[in-house]
């Protein structure tokens, strides 16, 4: 039988070292409370002794701390100053980030909303290749599990927090204390004589987590001393079950994806309730949509998916996104797409200059024919090409991966033609698009091309004088056709992927 001879202090160091191996740029979410203060001190101690290899860490690392100032507490300014001083005396770079809390967006309570804002602000201020660390511990995990149980959560919610969580391809969160107890952390802090702040709201049992911590957990621990460890094990089993389901459903979910990331609905009709709900949940999760409740999933199925064929059902998912159905497919779209842009006309007098579109629709840039690769011109595709490469020096340093680029190839305007971008074309006027023999009304063209209504209303229309040249990214008209005598202009539309 192996006997664990590590002291509680050694166990803390061991957990932290195991987590940060191979991570060279660390950022600590530093509240100034007991838990994050201990993690700050341990990271600093490891970092200062890396060269002597006292702690056998393979990768040297840099460390900085971020404190989120919510302004919700009378002592918020005092806490920020305290955090700054604790970092300064350890020579750790410190960033203070202010977060605005709006009561109107308080959908899940103060705790949940503040937590959501905090993580949003943290990841907005994390650079590429940096790893975020937080100081949640075993006791926190038990509370999280019980709160999820109270809400009636399934295996996903009961999985609790994970040691390693990817918020995006480049944004990683580590929780090195998740298998450590609050008591271990307290012992370390007292031994090192650390100074930390105590949030006075932690004693307010009006908040569910405080109620659990102060009134329920002591009773459970008195009856079952190892309750935190057993709850953590249950959470891990739930997480493993969810991982297994992800693997089993991965290929089937992939087959339900349309090229525009919408969800095909017909195959769901013949599935069991449990299977289709699991697939819809995973589709929503892939868009970083919060896991919907059982009731909300039933609403999606009965009132959105099964609504009348000629209806246009809409469901609010959160403060930013809507759920819509179109031609037997389910879409997640920004709320901003509901704003009508019919009266907007944007002059493009300087065709060489990049213009910014309204409603967060992206930017337009034109380039000369000499900069366009000849292979991009393909009349069978209506002069439209989605590409991933751009001319040199096109990308800006703040490039966001969740965007797509569309190239529309049209004839260059002559000197007498004034260029503009609009979002409305007369419904009764006929136009002929490249690749089609007959002229048709634009509404009919949208329908034939199966373009959803919200995309029609938010697609920039390129005009030369009052002639429609192109619905950028979708079609080009005969008036914009490239002939042997005309020069070629390429219009790049850089836009978000979610449609």
- pLDDT bucket at 273, cuts 50 / 70 / 90: very high
**Residue written as tokens 């990214």?**
473
CB atoms within 10 A of CB 14: 15
Identify the pLDDT of residue 107: 56
Q: Tell me the pLDDT tens digit for each residue of 389-417.
A: 333 333 322 333 456 778 888 988 988 99
Q: Tell me the pLDDT tens digit for each residue of 158-207.
A: 999 999 988 776 789 999 999 999 999 999 999 999 999 998 888 889 98
Task: Judge whether residue 211 has pLDDT over 60.
Answer: yes
Quick one: tokens of 391?
A: 């001319």
Task: Judge whether residue 224 has pLDDT over 60.
Answer: yes
Identify the pLDDT of residue 377: 42
Do residues 263 and 330 touch, judged by C-beta distance below 8 A?
Answer: yes
Task: Judge whether residue 342 has pLDDT over 90.
Answer: no
Identify the pLDDT of residue 370: 56
CB atoms within 10 A of CB 51: 8
- Rounded to a whole number of angstroms, the CA Rg of the chain reads 28
**Which uninterrupted H or E stretch holds 241?**
helix 227-256
Percent of the chain with pLDDT over 70: 87
Identify the pLDDT of residue 376: 45
CA 31 to chain centre: 23
* Sequence-ordered strand ranges (E) for 71-203: 94-98, 131-133, 164-166, 172-174
Task: Judge whether residue 20 has pLDDT over 80.
Answer: yes
How many angstroms separate the CA atoms of 19 and 177, rounded? 9
Please compute, for residue 355, the number of CA atoms within 13 A of its CA located in the half-sphere on the CB side: 20
Q: Tell me the pLDDT tens digit for each residue of 349-387.
A: 888 889 999 988 889 998 876 555 443 444 444 455 544
Residue 264 DSSP SS3: strand
* Sequence-ordered strand ranges (E) for 155-210: 164-166, 172-174
Task: Judge whether residue 223 has pLDDT over 90.
Answer: yes
Name the residue with higher pLDDT: 276 or 2: 276
Task: Judge whether residue 433 has pLDDT over 50.
Answer: yes
Task: Judge whether residue 80 has pLDDT over 70.
Answer: yes
Identify the pLDDT of residue 378: 42
Task: Judge whether residue 103 has pLDDT over 50.
Answer: yes
Q: What is the pTM of this model?
A: 0.74
Identify the pLDDT of residue 392: 32
Question: What is the average pLDDT across 154-159?
Answer: 89
Task: Judge whether residue 153 has pLDDT over 90.
Answer: no
Q: Tell me the pLDDT tens digit for each residue of 440-491.
A: 999 999 989 988 988 898 999 999 999 999 999 889 999 998 887 778 888 9
Task: Judge whether residue 51 has pLDDT over 70.
Answer: no
Domains, the chain, with CATH or none: 8-234 (3.40.50.620), 257-338 (1.20.59.20), 345-494 (no CATH)
How many angstroms separate the CA atoms of 170 and 20, rounded? 16
Quick one: tokens of 387?
A: 């590409």
Quick one: tokens of 393?
A: 């020096």
Question: What is the average pLDDT across 225-235?
Answer: 95
Beta bridge partners of 433: 477
**Residue written as tokens 């059902």?**
313
Quick one: tokens of 141?
A: 């995990």
Q: Tell me the pLDDT tens digit for each residue of 105-138.
A: 555 567 777 788 888 889 889 888 899 999 999 9
């Amino acid at each position: 039988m192996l006997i664990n001879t590590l002291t509680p202090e050694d166990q803390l160091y061991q957990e932290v070292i195991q987590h940060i191996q191979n991570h060279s740029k660390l950022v600590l979410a530093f509240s100034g409370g007991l838990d994050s203060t201990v993690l700050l001190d341990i990271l600093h101690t490891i970092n200062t002794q890396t060269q002597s290899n006292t702690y056998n860490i393979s990768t040297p690392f840099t460390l900085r701390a971020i404190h989120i100032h919510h302004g919700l507490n009378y002592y918020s300014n005092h806490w920020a100053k305290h955090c700054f001083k604790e970092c300064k005396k350890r020579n750790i770079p410190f960033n203070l980030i202010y977060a605005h809390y709006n009561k109107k967006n308080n959908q899940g309570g103060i705790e949940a909303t503040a937590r959501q804002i905090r993580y949003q602000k943290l990841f907005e201020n994390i650079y590429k290749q940096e790893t975020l660390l937080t100081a949640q511990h075993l006791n926190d995990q038990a509370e999280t599990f019980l709160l999820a149980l109270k809400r009636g959560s399934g295996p996903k919610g009961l999985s609790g927090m994970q040691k390693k969580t990817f918020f995006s391809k480049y944004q990683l969160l580590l929780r090195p204390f998740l298998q450590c107890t609050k008591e271990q952390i307290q012992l370390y802090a007292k031994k090192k004589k650390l100074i930390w702040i105590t949030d006075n709201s932690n004693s307010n049992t009006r908040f569910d987590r405080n109620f659990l911590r102060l009134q329920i957990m002591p009773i459970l621990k008195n009856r079952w001393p190892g309750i935190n460890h057993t709850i953590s094990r249950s959470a891990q089993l739930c997480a493993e079950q969810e991982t297994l389901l992800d693997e089993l459903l991965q290929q089937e979910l992939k087959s339900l994806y349309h090229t525009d990331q919408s969800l095909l609905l017909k195959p769901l009709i013949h599935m069991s309730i449990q299977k289709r709900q699991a697939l819809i949940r995973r589709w929503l999760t892939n868009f970083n949509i919060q896991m919907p409740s059982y009731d909300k999933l039933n609403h999606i199925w009965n009132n959105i998916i099964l609504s009348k064929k000629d209806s246009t059902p809409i469901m609010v998912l959160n403060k930013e996104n809507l759920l819509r159905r179109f031609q037997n497919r389910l879409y997640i779209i920004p709320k901003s797409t509901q704003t009508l842009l019919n009266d907007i006309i944007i002059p493009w007098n300087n065709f060489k200059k990049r213009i910014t579109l309204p409603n967060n629709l992206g930017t337009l840039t034109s380039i000369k024919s000499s900069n366009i690769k000849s292979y991009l011109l393909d009349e069978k595709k209506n002069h439209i090409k989605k590409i991933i490469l751009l001319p040199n020096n096109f990308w800006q340093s703040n490039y966001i991966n969740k965007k797509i680029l569309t190239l529309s190839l049209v004839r260059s305007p002559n000197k007498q033609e004034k260029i503009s971008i609009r979002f409305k074309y007369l419904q009764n006027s006929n136009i002929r698009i490249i690749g089609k023999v007959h002229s048709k009304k634009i509404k009919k063209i949208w329908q034939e091309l199966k373009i959803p209504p919200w995309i029609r209303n938010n697609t920039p229309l390129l005009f030369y004088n009052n002639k429609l040249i192109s619905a950028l990214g979708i079609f080009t008209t005969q008036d914009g056709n490239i002939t042997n005598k005309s020069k070629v202009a390429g219009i790049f539309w850089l836009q978000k992927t979610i449609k």
